[in-house]
Chain A
């Protein structure tokens, strides 16, 4: 079963709009972290924001912010004032500990965003 679910596979917006990308996750772990990455057309994966369950519900990094609802196991990425350069694919990822302490990320399927000017 999928552990990280991004409902929208594609979405389009106009420049200047505000966008919310939803992500839900499944975990039975107490210690886990969540990440939002942007996959550029060049192939590069850029880390946008990291959310720890113990911290406040809203984290910000420039025009990016997240709304974290721990009890609902939901983390939404909010991009304010969209620009054409925001076009790309956005991935939500869950880190949870494994036996032996190794680290890996579980990704959602991603949401492709197109921003028109």
Chain B
């Protein structure tokens, strides 16, 4: 069965600094990988995904993520954080060879300090 690990409950970054939110995954087949963001009292919004091709994928709001097959990681990054980036971030995985469900990590709260 697939699983996702987000090792950090919270990440604090000063505004203007680069940010990284970590994610590792486990699937038996090939992964499709996703990042979602959730603002308070809102639903989940899609940020970006890795399907195939370039390991570095770019998404909404200046975010990007790097797929690393050998480390089974898909860390979310942004070169310069904004206060408005403060939210709950979820990494998710789908096993393309087995299931149609997407499994989410437990989430990482990103706090950008002004």
Q: Do A and B bind each other?
A: no
- The chain A residues found within 8 Å of chain B, CB to CB, are none
- The chain B residues found within 8 Å of chain A, CB to CB, are none
